[in-house]
Amino acid sequence: MDTLLSLDAAAGTGDMPPGRVFGAYLAEARSECLRYLRAPGFMLPIMLFPGMFYLVFGVLMGRAEGTDATRYLLASYATFGVMSPGLFGFGVSLAVERDGGLLTLKRALPMPPGAYLLGKMLMAMAAAAIVVLLLLGLSQIAHVTLTPAQAGALLVTGMLGVLPFCALGMFVGTLIKGQGAPGLLNLIYLPMSFLSGLWFPLPMLPKVLQQAAPVWPSYHLDRLALAAVGMRQDALLPHVLVLLGFTAAFLVLATRRLRRYG
C-alpha cells in the first residue's frame, strides 16, 4: 500500500479531492475486473484446470483413501488454483500491455497510477474466490464435511494468498515481452506446484526436495490452506510472515523496474 501511495504522490494526485481519488480507484478496479471476467480465454483455464484435477484425483480417486485424503487435496488444489490468477493475470497482462503501449497511455491519464495495480489485485482476488468456491462445491461430491468457519477460512486464505503470486507475476511481467510471458510463467508455476507438494504429499518426494520445499511461497500458502480445513495444527505466523516478505520483496523489485524501464 505504501508503494501505491508513493505512486499516487508522484502523479500529483495529492491535490485531487479525496472523493475523486476514490472514484478513480473504484472505476479502474471495476474496469479491470470486468475486462478479465468477460475474457473466457483467461477465466476458463483458471477455473477448469484446478477443478478438473481435483475432480479426478481428489474426488474420484481420493474417495478410496477416505475423506481425509479428499480434504487434504481440497486444500492443495485450492492453493494450486489461486496461484494462477496472480501469476498469469498480472504477469501476462502486464507484459502484453507494456508491449502494446497501454501502460504508457494509462500513465498519461489523469488517474492515480496505483489504481491500475489495485484493479489487477482485486481482479486476481475475485478469480481466486471463484476457484475456491468451485472446489468447495466439488468437494461435496466426495462428502467432505467442513464447518462454515473452515469453508470461510479457506476462501479468505485463497483470496489473500493470491497476492504473493500477483507480486511475482508483476515482476516477471516487467522482465519479458508479452509473447514470452506465458511460457516463462508456466516454467515457474508448474515446477513450483510440484516441488511444494501440491500434486503429491511431500513425504512421497525425495528427501532433498522435501527439505527445499519451504523455499517456495506455494508451500507456505498450502500450510495455511491445510490449517484452514483442519488438517494441520502447527504455528501459522511463520508462514504468514514468509508470504508477506515475499510479497513485499517482489512488489518493490517490480515497482523499481516499472519506474526505470516502463
Q: Which position has the higher pLDDT, 56 or 33?
A: 56
Pair 228, 157: CB distance under 8 Å: yes
CA distance 138 to 140: 5
Pair 154, 138: CB distance under 8 Å: no
Share of residues in the chain with pLDDT > 70 (%): 84
At residue 75, the 3 state secondary structure works out as helix
The pLDDT value given to residue 133: 94
Residues with Cβ within 8 Å of 230's Cβ and at least 6 positions away in sequence, in order, are 71, 146, 150
Mean pLDDT of 164-186: 87
Grid cell for residue 88 = 498469469
The pLDDT value given to residue 102: 65
Q: What is the pLDDT of residues 191-228, one digit of tens each?
A: 999 999 888 888 888 889 899 999 999 999 999 999 99
Q: What are phi and psi of 193, to 5 degrees?
A: -65, -45
Residues with Cβ within 8 Å of 254's Cβ and at least 6 positions away in sequence, in order, are 167, 170, 171, 173, 174
The pLDDT value given to residue 50: 86
The pLDDT value given to residue 98: 77
Query: pLDDT band at residue 8, thresholds of 50, 70 and 90?
Result: very low
Q: Among 24-28, 149-153, 192-196, 233-237, whose mean pLDDT is lowest?
A: 24-28
Pair 135, 30: CB distance under 8 Å: no
CA distance 119 to 19: 17
Query: pLDDT band at residue 7, thresholds of 50, 70 and 90?
Result: very low
The pLDDT value given to residue 66: 63
At residue 230, the 3 state secondary structure works out as coil
Query: pLDDT band at residue 5, thresholds of 50, 70 and 90?
Result: very low
- pLDDT at residue 12 greater than cutoff 60: no
CA distance 113 to 118: 9
- pLDDT at residue 38 greater than cutoff 80: no
The pLDDT value given to residue 15: 59
